[in-house]
Amino acid sequence: MTECNQALTIEHAGMVMAWANTDNGLMQSTFNTERQLRTKVPPIPAPSFELAIAGIPYGHSPALISGLTRLPEAMKLISYSADAEKLFMAYKHEALGLKVETEMRFVPGSAVIRQSTVVTNEGSSPVVLTHLSSMCVQGIASDGALPWYDKRKVRVHYCRQTWNGEGQWRSGDLEELGLYPTSGHPSAAAVHFSSVGSWSTGKLLPMAVLEDLETGKAWYWQIETSANWHMEIGHRGSWSEDSGAIFIHADGADERFGGWSKELLPGESCRAVPAAFGCVDGSFADAIRELTAYRRYLTRELHGTLPPAPVVYNDYMNTLWGDPSRDKLAPLIAAAAAAGCEYFCIDAGWFGDLGSSWASGLGDWLPSRNRFGDEGLEALLASIRHTGMKPGLWLELEVCGEDAALAAKPDEWFIRRYGIRAGGGPRWFLNFGHPDVCAYAHGVIDRLMRMGVRYIKNDYNLCIGTGDDTGGRAAADGLQQAMRDFYRFIDEVKCRHPELILENCASGGMRADYEALARFHLQSSSDQEDYRKYPSIIGGSLAAILPEQLGIWAYPYPLLHSELANPASIEEPGYLRTMEDGEQTIFNLVNGLCGSLYLSGHLHLADETNRGLIAEAVALYKKERAYISRSHPIWPLGFTRMNDEEGWASVGLVSPDRSRILLSVWRLGSGSEYRILPLERWRGRKATVNLLYPGEGYSVESSYSANTGQLTVRLPKPYQARLFDIRFEVLE
């Protein structure tokens, strides 16, 4: 920290954040990687938060922009302190009695700052908050010769999501995304990304990267909430002079984006959802490297004494499809154990009787009376333990079906809106703010633990919607509280049962934010059942989720959902012959080796060749998972779009010292047998390239040139995949 002419500069991990001295005290002005920053035009300092209350004009263009509220400009700095770990600042609006405190923590080992913001009503009258930001950072991409709006300067990277189609990154310049100057007045335009409801990653990821193509720098951020969120890129300009710069803003509390508001009585406080942000010299990949390091710091105590990234077999995807029984499970258990799996998770259906629709009975979580023979589910779980694996079960802890006995509980047990339980049919949503609900759910988990369960897959197959308006509060505020209540319950579960592994799933990746992932050991990447489409999802998801947390399905011998009416089809000689060359199994396992290997499929039908390929991949994964848990991703071919069936795809996992890459390469439906993969950052460094998986009998041509920094790979058939081990000479 340095002070010069009563200004403040904070430096951390190559980042430089500056505050200017104003009549109201220190206000944040620039955020860059250069200490001696030359800006094209002077920035406009402002506090690192935005705030609005009912009855006070919002600010500039309130219908269009969130990041230009009026109240912060009238607040004065009353105290601040800084050390090597954090910066604390407190601002106050004397007339209204509102105090805002921000704490920026400098994350060790990464170019990331994590901000928390709290507003307190120190006045004598209630106030109604209508906006509270999680972060607002000024002075973005303010250096260089090009004006901020030039199409050649700024590129914004963001990620679209949908069911079965997660991780679809896109990019655009500011103008095409919605931010551009229109006159001599400050711009009323902005780039907006937002989500409403508890499927926080159902449409977009709550993160973005802004790249300055002119100066070779990148800014990045993520907001950590499973409730509503909103991100904005705008321009803070002047009415009277040529000044201003781009700002980035994020919040989980905005009346205009989700209907949030909250009354604060005198003495009460409100805490914003946290956000993390940073900047780095480099590009998108460098930004993700820093966010990956930050996420590891955030989850550093997640596993305790549990082994990270275990090999899990789950019986659902392309296998039993929620219809388990003792007879169906027995060969799968034996095959999974033989392959080297460490956990065996029985997915949906274990609680419903054969011949019945179990969906409307969610919530009671009692074992089926007729699926598992006379000895029942507990004996089957014991048989899993006898193979050396640990048993797991699927739950949807947060819901209750209308036919469950649990449905008879009072309405206070449930999330409500308009006085009516939110949801309906198979899924009403439980209120984990009610102590009896928490006690009930703890009782369920305690009982399953006594039965030997050591793995729970918690699914979440419906979105609450706008939230819970019980007691007259804004539904959006109720939603935020509902998520906090549930995660407090999850924290309690982990304290009670430190030997239990928890997987987060929401129809795949529909709730994959880091409010959730700071608590769950594993995240389901997708419900995608076509292995050929998975590389697109894997590549994009690795930018948002730690590889060791990203559960990636690998399902050899799949029974697709469209073939459920003819389950015997996968045992027909014609089908089995299509599997003989092993290439479909290899493709599946290369998918899984990019993150946390998550097996399914009819492994017991595998012939000797395919059994060997499965066991080889599992053994390799166990050998490399410690490396995977230290690596960060790269994309030599960029991101592959979901329906790009004519191309290739590639993802690399790079060591911290950049001396090694585990490189997955997929030929999709491309008509070309050859693909050149640029590894430009390693240009000039000699390397050895070895085919890591599969092994003997599956060699392919490859050639690396240190002069060009390019790897050429030949895969002679469509829909082939290989995993390469690239090791570079260590530079002195």
* Beta-carbon count within 10 A of 485 CB: 17
Average pLDDT on 435-445 reads 98
Percentage of residues in the chain having pLDDT higher than 90: 91
Report pLDDT digits (tens) over 231-260. 999 999 887 777 899 999 999 999 999 999
Q: Are strands 262-264 and 127-140 parallel, antiparallel or unpaired?
A: antiparallel
| CB contact set of 189 (below 8 Å; sequence gap of 6+) | 64, 65, 178, 179, 180, 182, 234, 235
From-to residues of CATH 2.60.220 in the chain: 634-728
Res. 64: pLDDT tops 90: no
Q: Identify the bridge partners of residue 301 per DSSP, sorted by sequence position.
A: none
Report pLDDT digits (tens) over 131-162. 999 999 999 999 999 999 999 999 999 999 99
Report pLDDT digits (tens) over 271-296. 999 999 999 999 999 999 999 999 99
CA distance 76 to 80: 11
Could you tell me if residue 259 is left (phi over 0), alpha (psi between -120 and 50 degrees) or otherwise beta? left
pLDDT value at position 555? Answer: 97
Res. 340: pLDDT tops 90: yes
Mean pLDDT, the chain, whole residue set: 96
Dig out the tokens for 645 from the structure: 């069936």
**Pick from 604, 696, 69: which is nearest to 341 by CA?**
604
What burial class does residue 149 get, using C-beta atoms within 10 Å of its C-beta: 0-12 exposed, 13-18 middle, 19+ buried? middle
CA distance 425 to 526: 24
Res. 2: pLDDT tops 80: no
Res. 1: pLDDT tops 60: no
Dig out the tokens for 33 from the structure: 């990687």
Average pLDDT on 111-119 reads 98
Res. 3: pLDDT tops 80: no
Percentage of residues in the chain having pLDDT higher than 70: 99
Q: Are strands 7-12 and 86-93 parallel, antiparallel or unpaired?
A: unpaired
Dig out the tokens for 400 from the structure: 């209750």
Res. 647: pLDDT tops 60: yes
Q: Identify the bridge partners of residue 2 per DSSP, sorted by sequence position.
A: 9
Residues making up the chain, counted from first to last: 732
> How does residue 658 score in pLDDT terms, banded at 50, 70 and 90?
very high
Quote the distance between the C-alpha of residue 698 and its chain's center.
35
From-to residues of CATH 2.70.98.60 in the chain: 2-298
Q: Among all chains, which residue has been given the structure tokens 């551009």?
A: 180
Active site residue 527: yes
| CB contact set of 142 (below 8 Å; sequence gap of 6+) | 30, 32, 37, 39, 40, 41, 43, 148, 245, 246
Let me know: does 309 contact 628? Beta carbons within 8 Å. Answer: yes
Quote the distance between the C-alpha of residue 104 and its chain's center.
22
Q: Identify the bridge partners of residue 145 per DSSP, sorted by sequence position.
A: none
Whole-prediction pTM: 0.97
pLDDT value at position 732? Answer: 65
Please tell me which residue, 532 or 40, carries the higher pLDDT value: 532
CA distance 478 to 196: 13
Report pLDDT digits (tens) over 489-531. 999 999 999 999 999 999 999 999 999 999 999 999 999 999 9
Q: Which helix (H) or strand (E) holds 338?
A: helix 326-339
**Pick from 556, 545, 560, 563: which is nearest to 591 by CA?**
556
CA distance 28 to 138: 7
Q: What is the CA radius of gyration of the chain?
A: 27
Computed from CA positions of residues 701, 706, 707, 710, in that sequence, does the dihedral angle turn out positive or negative? Answer: positive
Q: What is the DSSP string of 433-449?
A: TSHHHHHHHHHHHHHHH
Active site residue 459: yes
Q: Identify the bridge partners of residue 455 per DSSP, sorted by sequence position.
A: 392, 501
Let me know: does 556 contact 336? Beta carbons within 8 Å. Answer: no
Dig out the tokens for 425 from the structure: 């049919």
Report pLDDT digits (tens) over 376-422. 999 999 999 999 999 999 999 999 999 999 999 999 999 999 999 99
Res. 92: pLDDT tops 50: yes
pLDDT value at position 210? Answer: 98
pLDDT value at position 359? Answer: 83
Q: Which of 251, 477, 513, 527 is catalytic?
A: 527
* Beta-carbon count within 10 A of 467 CB: 28
Task: Indicate the fold that domain 634-728 takes in CATH.
Answer: Chondroitinase Ac; Chain A, domain 3 (2.60.220)
Homologous superfamily of the 2-298 domain (CATH): alpha-galactosidase from lactobacil brevis (2.70.98.60)
**Pick from 419, 377, 414: which is nearest to 394 by CA?**
377
Please calculate the CA angle 593-596-601 and round it to the nearest 5 degrees: 75
Dig out the tokens for 487 from the structure: 């995660």
- Cα 701 to Cα 25, 539, 722, 729: the distances in Å are 64, 24, 11, 21
Torsion of CA 685, 686, 690, 692, to 10 degrees: -30
Q: Which of 286, 459, 469, 513 is catalytic?
A: 459
Report pLDDT digits (tens) over 170-198. 999 999 999 999 888 888 899 999 999 99
Torsion of CA 250, 251, 254, 260, to 10 degrees: 160
**Pick from 626, 555, 619, 589: which is nearest to 309 by CA?**
626
